[in-house]
Amino acid sequence: MDSFQKEQWHADMIAWRRNLHAHPEPGWLEYRTAAFVAAQLASLGLEVTAGRGACSSKARMGVPDAETIRAHEELALKEGVDPDWLGRMKGGHTAVVGVLRGAKPGPVIALRFDLDCVEVGEDEGSEHLPRRLGFASRRPGLMHACGHDGHLAIGLGVAAKLAASANELAGEVRLLFQPAEEGCRGAQSMVESGWLDSVDYLFCGHIGLKSKTLGEIVGSVSGFLSTTKIDAVFRGRAAHAGESPEQGNNALLAACAAALHLHGISRHGGGATRVNVGRLEGGAGRNVVPGEASLKLELRGETEELNAYMAGETSRILAAAAALYDVTCDWVTVGRGTSAEGDVSLIPLIEKECAALEAVGSFIGTLPFGASEDATFMLRKVQEQGGRGVYMLFGSPLAAGHHHPSFDFDERVLGIAAELLVRLVLACPYWPAEDQSGTFN
C-alpha cells in the first residue's frame, strides 16, 4: 500500500466512524448501523450474512419489546436503510458476518467488532470535538460513548485492506459484527449461530480503557469478571395513602429494602465480587401506595463460581424482600458474561507485528481488565475447540472516560489498530516464525 492509498484508507475509516457516531443505536436495534456495515462489506466482495443467519434468535438476551423494535424499524426505513437488509434483520436480529476466503489454504481467523451505543446523551458544549465538527449524535439520549463507532470503522478498514490483499491471504477470515455488547447481551447468540465453530484464531479489542497513550498496544488483557445482569419487578397493591393505606402492599418499599440488602451481601474469600443496583423506580404519586417498582442490577465475580454465589444470594434477598412486604417479585437475567483469559502464547506474535509498525510506540504484554465483556463467550468457545484468542487494547487519549457524555478518542488510533489486525491476519498462518511451510499450527 503506497502512502497515498494509506492516507485514503485512514481517511475512509475516519469518515465511517463519524457517520456511525452521528447515528447511534442501542442493542438489538442497530438497523442503520448493521445495514451500513453489511453494504460496505458487500461492496468489497465479501460473503455477507445478516440477521437470523448471523445470530441465534433464542440465545439473544435483553431484547427490547415488540413495540420498541417496530418503532426502530420504521425509523430505519425513514432514514433510508435498504429494505432488503432491513428485511433480513427484522425482529431485532442485527448481527452481521463478513467472510473472506484466501487464495491459499490456512486457518480460520475471526475478528470481532461491536455495533451498539450507550444510552447517554452527548455533550452539547462547543468544546466537544464531535459537536464542533458536526458529527455529534443526532439521537437524544443515545451516544457512541464507548468507542464502538471506532471499532466498527476499524473492522471496515480491515475488510477493505484484506479484500485488496486476497492473493496474500491464507485460510478464511470471519469478521463478526456483534449487536448488544452493552449489558453483555449479544455474543452468545453469535456463538450459538455457529460462527465461532472451527475458528483457530480470534482477535478482539477495545479502544482506550486502561491504555490511554496513542501508539500503545496491549497484547492481551486478563482477569475478565463473570457477570449477570438482572431486571426485577416487585408487584404489590396500590391504595389511597391517606384514606386506606392498610389496603395497599407497598412494592416500592420492598424494592428499596432489596436494594439496600443486595449491597450488604457478604464478600467471598475465594476472590473479588461486585454488586450494583443501578436503577430503582416505582410509584405513581405522593398519595398512592406504590403498587409496582423495579430494579436494574448487575453482579460480578472473579470466577463463574463467585458470580454464581452472588446470584444465589441475590435470589434469596429478592424473595425475602418481597415476602417482608407481602408483594411478589419476578426477575429475569437480561445479560451475561463469563470469566476468561487470553492466550499468552499469541503475545510474541502480536509484539512482533507491533514492532513492524512505525506508529506503535510501546507494547505491553498483558494488563488486568477488572471488568466484564461478553466477548469472553467467543474466547471460551475458540479455546475449548483447541484454538487461541486474545482481547487487545488499542491505546488512545480520551476526552473523558467511557460512558461519559464527553467521551471521545484520537482518531489516529483507527489506522494503527486496523494495520495491526491486518498484519496479524496475514501472519497467523505462518506462526511460529520458524514454520514457513504455509500451513497453520
Distance (Å, rounded) from C-alpha 62 to C-alpha 68? 13
Segment 55-64 mean pLDDT? 97
pLDDT value, residue 436: 36
Segment 434-441 mean pLDDT? 37
Segment 8-29 mean pLDDT? 98
Segment 222-250 mean pLDDT? 97
Q: Each residue of 84-143: pLDDT tens digit?
A: 999 999 999 999 999 999 989 999 999 999 999 999 999 999 999 999 999 999 999 999
Q: What is the mean pLDDT of the chain?
A: 95
Residues 6 or more apart whose Cβ sits within 8 Å of residue 262: 275, 277, 297, 314, 317
Largest Cα–Cα separation, the chain:
85
Residue 441 has pLDDT above 60, yes or no: no
> Which residue has cell 456511525?
20
127 has binding-site annotation: no
Q: Which residue has the higher pLDDT, 166 or 411?
A: 411
pLDDT band for position 370 (cuts 50, 70, 90):
confident
DSSP secondary structure of 309-358: HHHHHHHHHHHHHHHHTT-EEEEEEEEEE------GGGHHHHHHHHHT-T
Distance (Å, rounded) from C-alpha 438 to C-alpha 441? 10
Residue 431 has pLDDT above 90, yes or no: no
Poorest-confidence range of 3-12, 158-167, 225-234? 3-12
For residue 337, list its beta bridge partners.
227
pLDDT value, residue 439: 34
All cell numbers assigned to 16: 465511517
Residue 386 has pLDDT above 70, yes or no: yes
pLDDT value, residue 437: 37
Segment 214-225 mean pLDDT? 96
pLDDT value, residue 340: 92
Distance (Å, rounded) from C-alpha 162 to C-alpha 145? 28
206 has binding-site annotation: yes
pLDDT band for position 2 (cuts 50, 70, 90):
low
403 has binding-site annotation: yes
Segment 17-43 mean pLDDT? 99
Segment 421-430 mean pLDDT? 96
Q: Each residue of 153-206: pLDDT tens digit?
A: 999 999 999 999 989 999 999 999 999 999 999 999 999 999 999 999 999 999
Contact at 8 Å (CB) between 111 and 152?
A: no
Residue 3 has pLDDT above 60, yes or no: no
Percent of all residues in the chain with a pLDDT value above 90, rounded to a whole number: 94
Q: Each residue of 272-324: pLDDT tens digit?
A: 999 999 999 999 999 999 999 999 999 999 999 999 999 999 999 999 999 99
pLDDT value, residue 106: 96
Give 249's Cβ-side CA count (13 Å radius): 14
Domains of the chain: 3-224+339-430 (3.40.630.10), 227-337 (3.30.70.360)
